[in-house]
Structure 1
Amino acid sequence: MERDKLEKVNKCISRIKRGDRVRAVEDLYDLIGRPIRLVATKYFGNSFDIDDAAQDFWASIVELCQKCRPFSNGYNYLLKCFENQCRMNIRAERKATGRMSVSDLADYENSLVAKNGLSAEETALRMSFEKALKLMTEEERAVYALTLYGEKTVREAAETLGFSKSKTDRIKQGVMEKLKTVLISDGWDK
């Protein structure tokens, strides 16, 4: 996105925070309305779901802007919030139909960013964890979800997954190495 558009988006966010909601939201819609719909087409196959997702986003825009920390790219922040909202909607649908998978864990963690308004540093750290999750196999993600995220012991995770304790422990060590490698490569060792 062009620098002047980024600045305009940031100014709109600031105006919304100060209370100039009607005109600032209209201006923001003019700037990012089309990209929002394009992101929605990535997640939803029909126009009704696309419209619903976009309307939900614009209905919560004031709250999202209030949570936005003053950093240089409000455009990316809002698009990321919208993507997280789309993922949460899909995840809720899967959960309701019983099609929840371990790989939905990353989507859940991303949704925390949108809900809790985490700082840029916390957001960057979560993105590092998401990157590490993408490098993991399904077995590794399952062990990660149960031991590191779900705080189960290696023995409990092994029982849940039907693995031996030694296999689960080896997988956990591999997960820790992948996390360590990604965190160091992203500069979190300083």
Structure 2
Amino acid sequence: MASPIVAGAAALILSKEPKLTNEQVTYRLASTADDLGARGKDTSYGAGRVNVANALKYRLLSTPVVSQLTDKDKAIRIQFKEAFKGKIIITGKTKVEKQLISDRTFNQLINIPPQKGDTIVSIKQVDEKGNESWPVKRKVKDTTPPAAPKISGIGNNRKILQGKAEAAQKFLFVRGMFNWYQAMQTVWEVLK
């Protein structure tokens, strides 16, 4: 019985805001639903009971412009193109919430704890009425250099290099010969 109700609610939302994507309509329906049963999404009630009135009152805020992140960053730059009163929510390894009030566009650095490389960080704004922006996701770039490989053995006429290195690390091994111009260079890659 839920399918026709959800489809009808989605049609009402799209009639009001036809430029929304399917993903945005799904997000709006789930985020404005009345939570039933266990807190959050669960196997008995899913995302909850569709609340068409809340879904239609909901206003999608403009998406913030967010800087790229590295594992060394202790702050993230966020820009908005309109007045805003509410909070910024940054979720990654940890969750940071910052209250903001601005009557014009703004460009602000928000302090965050350093994140590990390859962590996905999500940034969104939520106004006083509960309206949200579409979350912006950033993958934290790993800028920490790998530890130097430790070579424990290689012998004459062997094609095997023994030692320890980080997974997927590449390094250049130069094997010298009697004549310097005959030196052979090989790039080795550590397999995962």
Which structure: greater strand fraction? 2
Shared fold (TM-score greater than 0.5)? no
Higher helix content, 1 or 2 = 1
User: Which TM-score tier does this pair reach, normalised by the shorter chain?
Assistant: under 0.3
Structure with the greater relative contact order (CA < 8 A, sep ≥ 6): 1 or 2? Answer: 1
TM-score (norm 1): 0.28
